[in-house]
Amino acid sequence: MKSIEKPGELSTILGKGSVVDGNIKVELSLRIDGKVVGDVVSGDTLIVGAEGEIKGNVHVKNLVLGGKITGAVLAPGRTVLEAHSELRGELKTGKLVIDEGAIFDGKCTMSETRGGSKTESSADKEAIIK
């Protein structure tokens, strides 16, 4: 039997049409194609599909957003806002990629560790807009 303990491997899926009214916490990666009203915490990557929606705070390592999030997002690794995605709220991330057609309405703070020292800026550091 193969181990699912590989970093970045998808371990939990909330399918299309599913609705969760409450908080979700998973150790590994999570994909949401349904709706969550509550906070989402993942020890690895969160993927929100095109029809996925979260109304609550998000704390993950990395975020790939194809759907909608309304709330505060903390993703110290990398955040990708795909075309047609919507993020409304505060974002704290290390790296940011915004595809053409994505909507970001809020505040962005970027910080990452470089050579043992922490650097910070507001939305002007490593934002990549395609």
Is 7 domain-assigned? no
pLDDT tens digits, 78-114: 999 999 999 999 999 999 999 999 999 999 999 865 5
What is the rounded CA–CA span in Å between residue 83 and residue 18?
23
Mean pLDDT of the chain: 86
H helix intervals, 5-120: none
21 within domain boundaries:
yes
Report residue 17's pLDDT band, with 50, 70 and 90 as the boundaries. very high
pTM, whole model, 2 decimals?
A: 0.82
Q: Given a cut of 90, is residue 118 above it in pLDDT?
A: no
Asked if residue 93 belongs to a domain, the reply is yes
Q: Among residues 96, 92, 80, which one has the least CA distance to residue 128? A: 96
| Alpha-carbon span 46 to 40, nearest angstrom | 9
Structural domains in the chain (count)? 1
Amino acid at 2: K
Q: Is the dihedral of CA 112, 114, 117, 119 positive or negative?
A: negative
